[in-house]
Amino acid sequence: MGVVPDESSQPTSPESATVTGYYRFTDIWFEWHTALPDETYRDTLKAVLQYDAVVHRDHPLMEDPSKGIELYMGVLHNQESRLMLSSAQVEYIRYWLHAMKLTEELIPIPNSEAMMTSEQLQTVSPIFYTDAAVLKKAVKTIEKNNKKLRWVDNFLMKYRNTFERTRTLWAAGTGTWCAIDFESWERDHTIITELGWSTIRWDNGKEIAEQNHIIVKENRAYSNGTFVPDYRDHFLHGKSILLDKKTFKQRMAELLAEWQSSGPLYLIFHDARADIKYLKSPAVEAPLPTLEFTLPDVVPESGTYVIDTADLFAALEGESTRKRRGLEQMCRHLQIQTDYLHNAGNDAYYTLLALKSMASGDPLDLQREQRWPNHTEGAVNGVKVQFQPWEENDEYDDVEGLMPPPKFKLPDAPEATLNPAYEAQMLQEELAQS
């Protein structure tokens, strides 16, 4: 790594230096000191960048010891990841060394050619470390996963990008994150029986959560039970509200206006297509603003954005086909206990819980390895998680593994929570519109 001439003004903290880009952590750790002409300075700089030193509570870059050292995870356009230090952090290290009289003059900063700019990165998100061994392992894991990504297709790359942007937006702690779920009569999906929503927003950095469930009064006579269970009276996270159709529509309009009033609104669904159709249906007539289906690469001040947890989990699982997990299957693999699914309030609650679990975790490839260690060996695309039968089904009996396979192929279980009749109805509507 080359060097450039010294800079001028001295900041008093990492934040006061202007962030113009990022340097790969391994470049700073392994290369920066080698470019210094003074051997004493080399040893000093290397000591400050040791794994054990970087995570120490007294390190100059440590701002909150309870969270750990803040580094950054960047994703390039080819989906490879880079663990990085910001240019502000790199400059602050050299100023700190000089201020502490550990160097007689300011050491030169790394060559700007080694710096990555926003144009080279799809996403950048913070990541914290409190343990040197964990940080060292993360560096190796990132390198290992980058080698696997050569087999990832464009379809999966799109959802991987959405996953990382979701993490970045969640970390900002702004706006309203709202999971919505509708339930309808299984024999006529134009008859909406329930609405559930679950929200998270922030007030002075404090997370505020709310869960609600509405039952449509005139449609109580329409009961499910043939294709899906009828659990409308089993809302587990509060008290259900009974509203007539007119009041139900008014309440939906009021909710949307309320959610949009405090910054960006992130509407979260599990199978967004179905619930958005419900929102636009005559039974709801929600005054929807322009919906954005592509998340921004920087935190927005306003706007309404759609996030589908089925797509996020596909990215985490490494599923490159259009096959999607149902809500129950996704929650099982995320270790989220579910009860009384197909109650709209419960489904919205678990959908938001799944979103939070993924969005608040580490970057995608590190998170996948943490959740399911050594589950991608032999994967066709390099990153597809290979679940065992007992991981797919809680009721799987280990004895089944001792029995010979059946001579005929069993039909695949449906992945979606929607019944075939509704899928056919949706297809007909789409064809009619086209």
Instruction: Give the per-residue pLDDT at 6.
Output: 41
Asked if pLDDT for residue 91 goes beyond 70, the answer is: yes
Q: Which domains does the chain have, with CATH numbers?
A: 14-133 (no CATH), 172-371 (3.30.420.10)
Cα–Cα distance for residue pair 331/295, rounded to 1 Å: 23
More confident: 432 or 99: 99
Exposure of 220 in the CB half-sphere (CA atoms within 13 A)? 10
C-beta separation of 415 from 325 below 8 A: yes
Asked if pLDDT for residue 85 goes beyond 50, the answer is: yes
Cα–Cα distance for residue pair 71/139, rounded to 1 Å: 12
CA distance readout (Å), 427 to 274, 308, 318, 430: 11, 20, 27, 5
Asked if pLDDT for residue 316 goes beyond 90, the answer is: yes
Judged by DSSP in three states, 115 sits in: strand
Cα–Cα distance for residue pair 351/267, rounded to 1 Å: 11
Cα–Cα distance for residue pair 337/140, rounded to 1 Å: 32
Query: What is the pTM assigned to this prediction?
Result: 0.80
Instruction: Give the per-residue pLDDT at 119.
Output: 86
* pLDDT category of residue 298 using cuts at 50, 70 and 90: confident
Q: What are phi and psi of 47, to 5 degrees?
A: -65, -40
Judged by DSSP in three states, 32 sits in: helix
More confident: 3 or 192: 192
* pLDDT category of residue 422 using cuts at 50, 70 and 90: very low
* pLDDT category of residue 147 using cuts at 50, 70 and 90: confident
C-beta separation of 336 from 350 below 8 A: yes
Cα–Cα distance for residue pair 400/184, rounded to 1 Å: 37
Asked if pLDDT for residue 239 goes beyond 90, the answer is: yes
Cα–Cα distance for residue pair 5/89, rounded to 1 Å: 18
Nearest C-alpha neighbor of 188 from the set 215, 217, 223, 240: 223
Residue with token string 């001295």: 10
C-beta separation of 403 from 396 below 8 A: no
Q: What is the DSSP string of 107-127?
A: PPPBPGGGEEPGGGEEEEEEE
According to DSSP, residue 262 is labeled: S
Tokens of 183: 């339930």
Q: What's the pLDDT tens digit per position in 359-416? A: 999 999 999 999 999 898 877 778 899 998 888 887 665 444 444 444 333 333 333 3
Of the ranges 31-45, 140-154, 334-348, the best mean pLDDT one: 334-348
Work out the angle at residue 83's Cα, subtended by the Cα atoms of residues 31 and 26, and round it to the nearest 5 degrees: 15
Burial of 139 (0-12, 13-18, 19+ CB in 10 A): middle
CA distance readout (Å), 121 to 27, 75, 252, 330: 17, 6, 39, 29
Instruction: Give the per-residue pLDDT at 379.
Output: 73
- Looking at the DSSP bridge assignments, the partners of residue 75 are 81, 123
Instruction: Give the per-residue pLDDT at 399.
Output: 42
C-beta separation of 393 from 326 below 8 A: no
Judged by DSSP in three states, 188 sits in: strand
C-beta separation of 367 from 316 below 8 A: yes
CA distance readout (Å), 46 to 54, 83, 93: 11, 18, 11
CA distance readout (Å), 331 to 178, 195, 337, 350, 353: 18, 20, 7, 8, 9
**Sheet of strand 291-292: strand arrangement:** 241-243, 206-216, 188-203, 176-185, 265-269, 304-308, 291-292
The H helix count followed by the E strand count for the chain is 14, 12
Max CA distance (Å), the chain: 83
According to DSSP, residue 227 is labeled: S
Cα–Cα distance for residue pair 343/212, rounded to 1 Å: 11
Instruction: Give the per-residue pLDDT at 250.
Output: 95
Q: Provide the residue type at 207 as one letter.
A: E
Mean pLDDT of all residues in 142-168? 88
More confident: 297 or 301: 301
Q: What's the pLDDT tens digit per position in 193-216? A: 999 999 999 998 899 999 999 999
CA distance readout (Å), 389 to 142, 163, 392, 393: 28, 26, 5, 6
